[in-house]
Structure 1
Amino acid sequence: MVLSRALTPPADPDTPEPAPPARERTPASRRLDRILPAVVLLAIAGFALLGIGSPLLGQSTFAATDEMVGSAPYSEVPEFASVRPTNNYLDDTWDSALPNTIVFADELREGHIAAWNPYSAGGVPLGATPNYALGSPLTLPFYALPGWFAPGIVKLLEIIVAVGGMYLFLRRLRIGAAPALLGGLVFASSAFMVVWTGWPQTRVAAFIPAVFWAVELIVQRARPRDAAVLALALAAMIFGGFPAVTGYTVATGAVYLVVRLLATHGRRWRRSLGGLALAAGGVAGGVVLTAVQLLPWVAFMSTAYVEGRGQEPDAHLSMASLVTVIAPWALGSTNPYGSVYWYLPVNLVESMSYLGAAALVLVVTAVAMARRGRAALPQGAWVFFVASTVVWLVLIYGGGFPLKVAQSLPYLFSDNFVGRARCVLGFLLAVLAALGLELLLRRRAASPAPAPSPAGKRRPWALAWVTLVCGAVAVAGVVALRDARHAAYLADRPTGGSLRTGEVTRELAVGIVLLLLALACAAALWWQGGRGGKLRLVAAVLLPLLVAGQALSFVVPYWPRSDKSTFYPVTDAHEYLREHLGPDRFAGMYEAMTRSAESALELRSATGHAFVDRRYGELIRSPSGGANFASTHVAVGGGLSAIASPTLDRMSVRYGVSSLAGPVPGTPRPAPTTTGLTTLAPDTPVTRPVPGTGPIRAVVLTPVETRRWEPTDRIEAVLLDETGRPVAQTDRRIGRTAANQPLYIPLAAEDVAAGARLSVRITVHAGQGLQLHAAGDGAAVGAVGTAQDGLKLAFVGTAAIFERTRALPRVRWAGTAVVEPDGARRLDLLRSGTLTGDQVVLEQRPTSAGGGSADVRITADGTDATEVSVTARGSGYLVLADPIQSGWTATVDGRPATLLKADHAFVAVAIPDGAHTVRFTYSSTAGRAGGWLSLAAALAVAGVLVAGAVRDRRRRALRSSGPGSLPSVS
C-alpha cells in the first residue's frame, strides 16, 4: 500500500510526485534537514566561485589567451615572453570560439546581426550557424559585457543552469532537496562539463537536465505547456551548437520517456500515446524554434569540406582512463611544463572521466540498494538509470560489437567520437549519486522500511545483487589500474625511469583515501539510521564537502585564468596588416596567425579554424595536393614553401605571415667553408660580412647544439651597409636551436641597392653564449637573397610579413573567361601560373562576349554584404574572390543577377558596358524560411504557455470561490 501510494500521480499537476510517507522524525533528523541543504548550497557556491576565481572579480580573464600569446607574433612581445600556460589543451577556444563570438558581439552592439564572418578562412557562416553557440541563452553575457570579462560569467551561468535543471528534475523524481542539489554539483563538476569549458559544448550539455525535467513533466502531467517547456529546453541545446550532445540527449531521453510512460500507464495505451505525441511535439517545436539557424546550417554543411570523421569500433576510450574517475591527474596534467604531461593516445579533453570519489560511492550505493532504489523513484526510473548507465559505459569504454552496431546507425555514432557521450553519462551518474545520498538519508528516518519478505526469501537475492555490483566495480577498477600502469610503463620506457608509474600510484592513493573517507561517511549514515546524533550529521555534511573539495582540485589547475593583457592584444605585425591589407587577405604560414584569432581584430585571413566550403578547401590545399589540411583547420597546402603559389594569387592573398623562427624563402647564399667553432658571448656585439651583395631577406647562422633557450633569451641582428649605417634590424627570440640546422634571422632589406656590400652586427642577449660553426676567425654567416618569386619581405617585427606582389585584388575585373568544367583540371590550371590577371576560370560557357575593361571600386564591405561600383568599357566579369557560391545572391543596379562559379571556389557576375552598382548579399532562401518558421514557433510556444497560465489562474479562482460558485451542469 505504501509503495502504491508513493507511485500515484499527484492530484495537483503543479507539484512534484510526493515522497513516500516518512516515519516520525527525531529532532536530530529535522536539524539535519535544515542544515544539509544549506551546506550543499555553500558547497556549490564554493565550487563555482573558487573554481572560476579571479575572472569573476575582473582581475583576469576566464579565457586561455595565455596559450595564444605563446605563438607568433605575440611570443615576440617581451612582456609575453615568460607567460607559461598551465593548460595547452584549450586551443579551439581562443582560436575559433572566442574570436567568432567577439565579431558577432561587436556587430550586434552596432545594431547588426552578422550572419557571415568574412575574416576567417576566406569567409564562413557566423550567425547563420549554431556552431558558435551565438543563439544560446548562456552566450548573452558576451553581448552586454566586455569580451575579456564575459567568459567567467558564462561559466557561472552554465553551473547555475546545470545545477538548477538537476534540482528541478530530481525533485520531480521525489528526491529530497539536499540530494537534488548534490546531484547538480556532481553533474556540473563531472568530466565533460569541466574539460570542454570554453567550447560551446558545455553550453549545450548544461541543458541536459532541463530536457529530462521537461520529459518527466510530460509523463506526470501530460499538458501542452510541458511540451512547450521541452521545446524551449531543446532549442537552448540546439542553439548551443555541437549537435552530437543534443543527439545523445534526445536518444537517451526518448528511451527514458518510453520506459516511464509504460511503467506509469501500463496498458492504458491512449495515455502513453498522448505522452509520446506531446514529446514529439516538443521535439518538433525545439527544432522549428531554431530553424533560423538550422536551415542555413544544413544548407552550408551540405557543401562543406568534411573529411576524416568516420568512426570505427576500436575508436573508444581506454579502460585506463577510468582511473581518472577518482584521480583526475593520475595519467598526467595539461601543463606541458609540469613533471608529467598527459600521455594516453587519446587526448585529455576526450579521455578525462572524472566523477569524484565521494560521488562514486553514492553511485554504487544507489545501484547496490536495488529494492530501496526502485521504491524511492517513480516506476521504471531506477531500472532506466542503471541500465542506461551500463549501456553507455560499454559503448564508451568497451567498444567492440555493441559500438559497431551503434555506428551502423546514421550520423550520431558513425560521425562522432563516442567518448563525447560522457556528457550524458555524467548526467546519469549524477542522478544515481543523488539517489544514493537520498537512500542513505532515508534509512529508517525518512522512508518506510521495505515490507518484510516471506521467510526471508529476498535477502539472498539482495546480498547476491550487492555482491555482483561491488564485484563489477572492483573488477573494472583492477582492469583500469592495470591498463593505466601499463600505459605509464610504456611512456616511461624510453627514459628508463618510473616518473609516470610513480605519479599513477601517488594520485590514485589520494583518490583511494578520499574513497575510503566517503565510504566511512556512507556507512555512518546507514548504520546510524534513525538514531540521529552528531556522527550522522558530520557524515552527511562531509559528503558534499568531499564532492566540492575534490572537484576544486580538478578544476583549479584546468580552468584558465589569464592576464587581461593577453586577451587579443595588437602587435606591430597586426598594425602593419591593418594599415596595408585593405580589402584583401593574408595567410598565416609558419607558426604565425594560422588560426582564426585575427578575426577578433577584423583582419581577413585565407587560413583559419572553421568548417569551410568544400571548393574553398580544395583550392587552398591544392598547392601541395592536400598536405597540412584538416576539415576544420584550414592551412595553405605545402606551408611556407607554397607561399609563392599562383593559387594564392587568385585567392587575393596579399601577404604571407611567418614567425621569425621560420625558414625564409629565397636564393640561398651559403656561408664560407667552416673551419671550427666559435661562441657568441652574451651582450658582446660581433660584426661579420654577409655573403654576396644586397638586397637580402635573411642572415643564417648554424648552431652546434640542440637546446631550448629561455623565453627571454634573444638574438639581435643589425644589417650595415658599406659605411656602417644600419639599413635593417631584427630582434627575435632564440627559442629552440637544433644542432647543425640553420638559425634564420629575417631582415627587411629588399630595398637595399643591388650590388651593395653588407655586414651584420650580431648580439646575443642571453644568460650564456651561443656556440656556432665558425669561418676564419668568427661566426660563419650565410644569407638568403631575393628571388624572382613574386615575394618581398616587407616587414620584420614580431613576425615576418611577405608581400605577395602578384596577388590579384579580392574584387577585380576580368575581361575574358576560360571555361574548364572538370574540377581536377581546373585546379591544375589555377596553380599553373599561365592565367593572366584579366582572365577568370568559369565552369560553363558564358552568354556574354567579354573583352572589355573596367574601373572597379568597393563602396561597402561589411560582414553580410559587399557593394561595388563598376564603370565598364565593354562587357566582362566582376570577380569576387570570396567562397560565396552557396547562400549568397547578387544584384546589378538593383536587379537580380546570376552568380557564376568562378576560379573554382569563388563567384563572378557578367557586367555589360556602362556604369553599374553590384551588390553581393548573404541572404539565402533557407535563412529567410528558417526565420519565419522560428518566429511562428516562438509565437506558438508563447501562446501555449500563456494559455496554460490563464487556465491555471481560472482554476485557482474557482477553487478559492468555493463549490457554490461552480457553474451549474443541469
Structure 2
Amino acid sequence: MVLPRALTPPADPDLPDPTPPARARTSAPRRLDRILPAVVLLAIAGFALLGIGSPLIGQATFAATDEMVSAAPYSEVPEFAEVRPTNNYLDDTWDSALPNTIVFADQLKNGNLAAWNPYTAGGVPLGATPNYGLGSPLTLPFYTLPEWFAPGIVKLLEIIVAVGGMYLFLRRLRLGTAPALLGGLVFASSAFMVVWTGWPQTRVAAFIPAVFWAVELIVQHRRLRDAAVLALALAAMIFGGFPAVTGYTVATAGVYLLVRLLATDGGRWRRSVGGLALAAGGVLGGVLLTAVQLVPWVAFMSTAFVEGRGQTSDAHLSMASLVTTIAPWALGSTNPYGKVYWYLPVNLVESMSYLGAAALVLVVSAVAMARRGRAALPRATWVFFVAATFTWLVLIYGGGFPLKVAQSLPYLFSDNFVGRARCVLGFLLAVLAAVGLELLLRRRAEAREAGAAPATAGAGRLWGRAWVALVWGAVALAGVLALRDARRAAFLADRPTASSLRRDSLTLELGIGAVLLLLALACAAALWWQGGRAGGRLRIVAAVLLPVLVAGQALSFVVPYWPRADRATFFPTTDAHEYLRTHLGPDRFAGMYQAMTRSVESAFELRAATGHAFVDRRYGELIRSPSDRANFASTHVAVGGGLTAIGSPALDRMSVRYGVSSLAGPVPGTPRPAPTTTGLTTLAPGASVTRPVPGGGPVRAVVLNTVESRQWAPGDRIEAVVTDDAGREVARTDRRIGRTAANQPLYVPVAAEDVAAGARLSVTLTVRAGEGLAVQAAGGAAAVGAVGTADDGLKLAYVGTAAIFERTRALSRVRWAGTPVVEPDSARRLDLINSGTLTGDQVVLEQPASAGGGTADVRITSEGTDSTEVEVTARGSGYLVVADPIQSGWTATIDGAPATLLKADHAFVAVAVPDGTHTLRFQYSSPGGGAGGWLSLAAVLAIAGVFVAGAVRDRRRRGGRRPLVSSVPGAPGAPGSTDQPGS
C-alpha cells in the first residue's frame, strides 16, 4: 500500500520530518495551512493578554492584595473598607510568596544577596534555599521592575515558556505548527497552571514541556549537548521550589525515556544504555547546577518542623471534581460574596480539574484514533501518553490500592498530596489534545488515498470500531459517575438551607459546558467528514473555531480567578506598621487575633515571631508549647487563639516585645461587668451617648453587649472617646463594627492605661452607620462594661488600625545572661521555659557550662539579613544570647576567632564570653562549607563547555562540507569517493 506523505515516516522514523510544512500542505487545504497557525497564535495572545489584563499596562497589580487589605490592620483603613476580593483562595501568594520575594528583591537592589530572612517566624532561610522560587528564571522581573508590576510580567513569561516548550516538544513529535501551538495553549490554561498562579508552583510547572523536549532530543540525537539542555530545564524547575512538581515530572519523563529508548533502539542495549546515561547525566547536571540552594535546603529541611504531611490511599481527589473539566465553576466559585461558594471538602486550588470542553474532545479523539495516532507519532509515543494519562487519572481520582502502592515509595507520594500531580496530568492531556487536532487535520489526506489503496481488512475495522466505542463509552461512564457524585455533594451542601441553590448552579454551569462540548464535537466531526468544496470550507471554519473555543472558555475561567487588585492595595503602610517601626527596635512582635499573623510584615522589615514558612523544628516546638495546638501547622506559625497565650513566659524569651490584635478581638485583662441590664436600647446613627466607665482608670477596653447577630456593612463604624473628670480626652478609638453576635460582647479597645488608678472616666459612644446598634441597657441607657488592667505583663500601648499590646516582661533579642541553667531533657526544658520561674539573667543550656556570674553591657553595632555584630563589655564571664533560631547554618566569632554556638533556651543560641570588651559576629553561611556553591560553579563551567564544544564541532562540520556531486571521478563528493560529506 502506498501511504500518503502525511503518514509516511521519514527515513529515520524517530527523527522529525525535515519538511513538516509540506506534509501539512498535503493534509489540509493551503488556506487552512496559512490561517490556522495565525488563529492559534492570536488565541494564545488573547488568552495571555486578556487573561492577565490591566496589570500588564500598569493599571492594577497581578497580586491578590485586595484580599490582604480585607484583614486587619488594613481593614480598619477607610479607603480599604469597601474592598471585596473576588478570590480568597490566594492567601499564600500575598502572605508568604510575595513578602519573601520583596525582601530578597529589595536586598538585591541594594547589593545584598540575602540568604536569610530574619523578619518572619523568628528567621528562616531565604535565598539560600529554593523554597520561594527566588532562583527561577521566571522570577527575574521582580529584580528589575517595580514589585507591584512584576507579578503580571512573571505570569506572561510563564505562559510564553509553557507554550514555547510545548511547541518545541510537539514539533519533535512530528506535529504541525497549529497543533503544536494549540497544545501549548491547552497546557497553559489547564487547571494547575491557572489555580496555582502566584505561587512558585506554576513557575516550576511551566518548564515541564522543556524537560520532555530535552528527553526527546536525547532519544533522537544522543548528543552530550542534549543532556546539557535537560540539565538546564531541570535546574529551572528545581530553582523554582516546590519539589513535588519536579518529582512528578522526573518520574513521568523517566518512564517516557525508557519506553522511547526501548522502542527506538529495538534491542540494541548498548545504544539504550548510552541514552540512559546521557539522561542521567542531564539529571545530575540539573542537580549540580542548583546545588548552591539544594545543599542548604537539605540541611535546613532535615531540622525543620514538618508534621501532618503523611498520605493515605484515601487522600485523593473525588470523582465529583471531574465535572470542572468542562465547567470550571460547576461546584462554586472562589468569591465568598458570590452566589455559590466552592463547597467540596478539598479546596478549589487542590481540586480544580479544568481542561476545557474543546480540549477534552480533542483528547478523546486522539485516544480513539489509535491506529492513526501510532502511525503519526514516533514509536511508542502514542501508547505512552495514553497509558500515562490513564495511570495518573487512576492515582489522582481513584486512589485505592494503586495509590497505596505508590505511597509505599519514599518521599514523592508518601509526603505529597497526589492531587498536585495535576501539573503532569495537564501536560499529558495537552499533548493528546494537540495529537487529536493533528489527526483530524490529516484526515483529508487519508480519505484522498483511500480510493487508491486497498481497503483495511474487516477484522481491523471491527477492532478499530470496538476501540472507538470503548473509549467514548469509558468517557461517558466517567462523566456519569462524576455527575452523580457532584449532585450528591451539591445536595448535601444545600440541605442545611433547604434550598436547591447549588444544584441549580451545577445544572446551569454543566449546561454551558455541555453546549461547548457539543459545539467542539461538531467541529471535530466537520474535520473528520470529507465532503466536496462545501466540505472544505466547513473544515476551515471548524478548524478555526476549535482554538477559539479553547481560548474563549479558558478566559471565562481565568478572568474571574486571576487577581487584578488596585495598586494602592500592594503592601501599603498603616499607622500600626509605623508604630512598630518606631518602637520595635531589634526585637519581635507577634500577630495575634486576626492581625499580622502571616509573613506580610516581612515586606516592611519588621521582625515577627509568627508567620507563614517552614521553621526550625525547635523553634516550632517552642512557639507551639504555649499555644492552642489548632493554630499551629508546619508552615503556619501562630500564637494561641483569642489572645490566650499573649502573656506566655516563652514569648518573653522569644523577645516578643509587642502583640498585635485586630480591634475586633477580645481584650485581655480584668473584666468589669456593666451594671445589671434591665432591657434593650438602640444607639442611633450619628447620635452620641455618654456613659461612665465602670471602675474608672486605668482601662483597656469598653464593652457593649449586642443583641443582634448580623454582618454590618464595611463602612459601619463605632467611635469611643474616653474623657476624664475635667473633660480632657484620654483615649479615642474608631473601629468597624464588623460582625456582631446576639448576647455577646462587642469590645472597643482604648489605650487608657496611663490614667491614674481610680480616676473617674466617661466614654462617649457614637455609631456611624445606616442603622442603629441594638445593645443591652441599664436604666434606659446603654449598659457599658470595661476591661481593666491586670498583672499580666501587658500594656495596651496603642490603638489605631490595630490594638498593639506592649509585653513589659519581654527580654531583649540580643541579651546578656550571667547564670546558666542546664537541662538536657527536651520536655523538661520546655516546661521550665514556660514555667515563668526563670529570671532575665538566666539562660537554659543543654550541656554543662562554665559558672558565669558576670554582668555586661551589650550593644548591637550592625545588623543585616545574614549577619549580626555585637559589642560586649563584660565584667566577669557569662553568655551572649541571641534569640534567633540559628542553631544550623550559622557561625560565630569572638574578636575574629571562631566561637562555639551553644543551644540556648531550646531554640536559640548563646556564646560563652570572657571578661573584657569583645566583638561578636554571627554570620549565616551555606551549610556544607560552601560546597554547594562550588558544585554549581563547576556545573555551569562544564555545561558551558559542552555547548561551546558542540558549536565548534558543528562549525567544523559545516566548514568541511564538499559539493555533493562532482564531475571529476574520484574527487571528494563524487560517486565512489571515500571522502564523503559528514564522514
Assess same fold via TM > 0.5: yes
Q: CA 1:452–1:336 in 2, change beyond 3 Å: closer, same or farther? A: farther
Determine the structure 1 residue equivalent to 2:935: 933
1:710 to 702, 710, 713: 713
Determine the structure 2 residue equivalent to 1:761: 764
Determine the structure 1 residue equivalent to 2:818: 815
- C-alpha separation between the residues in 2 aligned to 1:753 and 1:567? 42
- Name the stretch that deviates more: 156-165 or 446-455: 446-455
1:174 and 2:174 equivalent? Answer: yes
* 1:589-628 superposed matches below 5 A: 589-624=592-627, 626-628=629-631
- C-alpha separation between the residues in 1 aligned to 2:283 and 2:411? 18
Letter in 2 for 1:226: D
1:106 and 2:106 equivalent? Answer: yes
Cα distance, 1:960 vs structure 2: 5.5
What per-residue deviation string (whole Å, max 9, x for no partner) do you get for residues 362-394 of structure 1?
Answer: 001000000000001000000000000000000
Determine the structure 2 residue equivalent to 1:258: 258
SS at match of 1:715: strand
Determine the structure 2 residue equivalent to 1:147: 147
- C-alpha separation between the residues in 1 aligned to 2:962 and 2:482? 61
Determine the structure 2 residue equivalent to 1:126: 126
Cα distance, 1:454 vs structure 2: 6.0
- C-alpha separation between the residues in 2 aligned to 1:541 and 1:429? 20
| TM-score relative to the length of structure 1 | 0.98
* 1:949-960 superposed matches below 5 A: 949-959=951-961
- C-alpha separation between the residues in 2 aligned to 1:786 and 1:505? 57
- C-alpha separation between the residues in 2 aligned to 1:615 and 1:477? 49
Q: CA 1:813–1:365 in 2, change beyond 3 Å: closer, same or farther? A: same
Cα distance, 1:234 vs structure 2: 0.2
Cα distance, 1:637 vs structure 2: 3.6
What per-residue deviation string (whole Å, max 9, x for no partner) do you get for residues 630-671 of structure 1?
Answer: 000001145511101110000000000000000000000000
Contact map agreement 1:668 1:785 (CA 8 A) in 2:
yes
Contact map agreement 2:592 2:641 (CA 8 A) in 1:
no
Q: CA 1:76–1:118 in 2, change beyond 3 Å: closer, same or farther? A: same
Letter in 2 for 1:542: L
Number of residues of Structure 1 aligned to a counterpart in Structure 2? 967
SS at match of 1:854: strand
- C-alpha separation between the residues in 2 aligned to 1:321 and 1:463? 30
Cα distance, 1:723 vs structure 2: 1.6
Cα distance, 1:443 vs structure 2: 0.7
Q: CA 1:23–1:346 in 2, change beyond 3 Å: closer, same or farther? A: closer
- C-alpha separation between the residues in 1 aligned to 2:25 and 2:556? 40
Determine the structure 1 residue equivalent to 2:912: 910
* 1:342-741 superposed matches below 5 A: 342-445=342-445, 452=454, 455-528=457-530, 533-624=536-627, 626-741=629-744
- C-alpha separation between the residues in 2 aligned to 1:20 and 1:574? 61
1:337 and 2:340 equivalent? Answer: no
Cα distance, 1:824 vs structure 2: 0.4
SS at match of 2:694: strand
Letter in 1 for 2:687: T
Cα distance, 1:447 vs structure 2: 8.8
Determine the structure 2 residue equivalent to 1:853: 855
Contact map agreement 1:10 1:17 (CA 8 A) in 2:
no
1:889 to 865, 888, 891: 891
1:784 and 2:787 equivalent? Answer: yes
- C-alpha separation between the residues in 2 aligned to 1:529 and 1:899? 82
- C-alpha separation between the residues in 2 aligned to 1:820 and 1:961? 85
| TM-score relative to the length of structure 2 | 0.96
- C-alpha separation between the residues in 2 aligned to 1:665 and 1:18? 77
Q: CA 1:856–1:16 in 2, change beyond 3 Å: closer, same or farther? A: farther
Contact map agreement 2:444 2:530 (CA 8 A) in 1:
no
- Gapped runs of 5+ residues in structure 2? 966-970
1:45 and 2:45 equivalent? Answer: yes
Letter in 1 for 2:670: T
SS at match of 2:607: coil
Letter in 2 for 1:553: S
Letter in 1 for 2:296: P
Letter in 2 for 1:910: A
- C-alpha separation between the residues in 2 aligned to 1:224 and 1:368? 37
Cα distance, 1:926 vs structure 2: 2.3
- C-alpha separation between the residues in 2 aligned to 1:869 and 1:913? 13
Over the matched positions of the two proteins, sequence identity in percent amounts to 81
Cα distance, 1:582 vs structure 2: 0.4
What per-residue deviation string (whole Å, max 9, x for no partner) do you get for residues 717-752 of structure 1?
Answer: 000111222110000000000000100000000011
Q: CA 1:320–1:183 in 2, change beyond 3 Å: closer, same or farther? A: same
Determine the structure 1 residue equivalent to 2:968: none
What per-residue deviation string (whole Å, max 9, x for no partner) do you get for residues 753-785 of structure 1?
Answer: 111011100000000000000011200000000
- C-alpha separation between the residues in 2 aligned to 1:415 and 1:919? 38
Determine the structure 2 residue equivalent to 1:877: 879
Q: CA 1:335–1:885 in 2, change beyond 3 Å: closer, same or farther? A: same
- C-alpha separation between the residues in 1 aligned to 2:660 and 2:23? 71
SS at match of 1:131: coil
What per-residue deviation string (whole Å, max 9, x for no partner) do you get for residues 76-127 of structure 1?
Answer: 0000000000000000000000000000000111111100000000000000
Letter in 2 for 1:799: A
SS at match of 1:528: coil
1:89 and 2:89 equivalent? Answer: yes
Contact map agreement 1:644 1:789 (CA 8 A) in 2:
yes
SS at match of 1:860: strand
Letter in 1 for 2:69: V
* 1:827-842 superposed matches below 5 A: 827-842=830-845
Q: CA 1:331–1:925 in 2, change beyond 3 Å: closer, same or farther? A: closer
Determine the structure 2 residue equivalent to 1:310: 310
1:54 and 2:54 equivalent? Answer: yes
Cα distance, 1:626 vs structure 2: 3.3
- C-alpha separation between the residues in 1 aligned to 2:176 and 2:24? 15
- C-alpha separation between the residues in 2 aligned to 1:358 and 1:587? 50
- C-alpha separation between the residues in 2 aligned to 1:258 and 1:307? 35
SS at match of 1:806: coil
Cα distance, 1:23 vs structure 2: 9.4
Q: CA 1:315–1:324 in 2, change beyond 3 Å: closer, same or farther? A: same
Letter in 2 for 1:504: L
What per-residue deviation string (whole Å, max 9, x for no partner) do you get for residues 646-705 of structure 1?
Answer: 100000000000000000000000000000000000000000111112000000000001
Cα distance, 1:31 vs structure 2: 0.9
- C-alpha separation between the residues in 2 aligned to 1:298 and 1:56? 37
- C-alpha separation between the residues in 1 aligned to 2:963 and 2:726? 105
Cα distance, 1:22 vs structure 2: 4.6
- C-alpha separation between the residues in 2 aligned to 1:593 and 1:24? 61
Cα distance, 1:449 vs structure 2: 5.2
- Say what the alpha-carbon RMSD is for the aligned residues: 1.8
- C-alpha separation between the residues in 2 aligned to 1:507 and 1:551? 14
Letter in 1 for 2:292: V
What per-residue deviation string (whole Å, max 9, x for no partner) do you get for residues 834-893 of structure 1?
Answer: 1110010000011x3311111100011110000000111111000000000000000000
Letter in 2 for 1:223: R
- C-alpha separation between the residues in 2 aligned to 1:878 and 1:6? 78
Letter in 1 for 2:436: G
- C-alpha separation between the residues in 2 aligned to 1:756 and 1:625? 37
- C-alpha separation between the residues in 2 aligned to 1:535 and 1:969? 54
- C-alpha separation between the residues in 2 aligned to 1:837 and 1:367? 71
SS at match of 1:795: strand
- C-alpha separation between the residues in 2 aligned to 1:302 and 1:605? 23
